A and B are shown apart, each in its own frame.
Chain A
């Protein structure tokens, strides 16, 4: 999370470069959005189309959800950028506790 202040002697040249970089990044964002929509369509199709066994559907749609969330976290929420180590620590510790909770509840609750 470096302070990316402009050091250029001519800020207008720098501005042009930055605008271009931002536009390029936006293009990647739109691409990752397209993929996310594609994964969503696949998941809905797997359930909507008759004939697939639920032993096949469930793991596949869970995998699609995980992939989609990775896109969301790393692209939309910028975790792919530098300086996100502490942030990854926060998120993954939360995830670790959360997943253990899910596992525990699924295995010890019966009514």
Chain B
């Protein structure tokens, strides 16, 4: 099958992301990568849980002093919603609706930027108001490494999706780029999966004490 072949709505395969051998291999390989990412994030969670609230003296801020419910809630809603909008994008991809797919991806990216902005504000707030920095305590190092790694994944995901959108803007959908969009959306969902554990284990459990 010619991967750059032009398709009509009727000839477009039901699962375009897996219609070619290239697509199938990308899909499988990407999940192997996600298995590795699971180990990476689990190790960071383990480090954080072991070093939580381990500070050098009584003046240093602890988890329950730092975290606030409203900010975490808004960030969570932004990221969860961006997961749904990327599902909408893939729905339109399967229906061969390129423009709608791009539109939903733009919304996804905008929500992602909102999340990232909040995280930058949050870190800045901790550093200036609480002197909670990467080097101030074992707690600080573990916290910024875990949450920062997740933030880095969000930033990478944004660059990835934007590159795909720009690169394929004039080309439309074909079996060459459908798997690329699909794999990027999987990555975006995985970022959301990690965040679910971050907001539960780091923020909510941190506020409980």
Contacts and interface: CB of A to CB of B under 8 A. Distances in A.
Given A61-B200, A106-B50, A109-B51, A91 B35 contact: yes
Contact of B208 (A54, A105, A106): A54
Interface size class on chain A is: 35 or more
Interface stretch (B11-19, B105-113, B151-159, B160-168): B11-19
Contacts of B209: 54
B27 A1 contact: yes
A102 B49 contact: yes
Contact of A3 (B19, B50, B83): B19
Nearest to A64: B200
A51 interface: no
A80 interface: no
B200 A65 contact: yes
B49 A105 contact: yes
Interface in A85-111: 86-87, 90-91, 93-95, 97-99, 101-102, 104-106, 109, 111
Chain B contact surface mostly: helix
Contacts of A37: 77, 80
Chain A contact surface mostly: helix
Contact of A102 (B45, B186, B204): B45
Interface in B49-90: 49-51, 54, 69, 72-73, 76-77, 80, 83-84, 87-88
A90 B19 contact: no
Given A44-B204, A54-B208, A86 B28 contact: yes
B46 A95 contact: no
Contacts of A18: 14
Nearest to B48: A105
24 contacts: A1-B18, A5-B19, A6-B10, A22-B94, A25-B91, A26-B88, A43-B199, A44-B69, A44-B73, A46-B204, A47-B69, A48-B69, A57-B208, A65-B197, A73-B193, A76-B83, A77-B190, A87-B31, A90-B32, A94-B42, A98-B46, A102-B42, A102-B49, A109-B50
Closest 6 CB pairs of A and B: A98-B42, A94-B38, A94-B35, A105-B46, A90-B35, A11-B10
Interface of B: 9-11, 13-15, 18-19, 24, 27-28, 31-32, 34-39, 41-43, 45-47, 49-51, 54, 69, 72-73, 76-77, 80, 83-84, 87-88, 91, 94-95, 138, 186, 189-190, 192-193, 196-197, 199-201, 204-205, 207-209
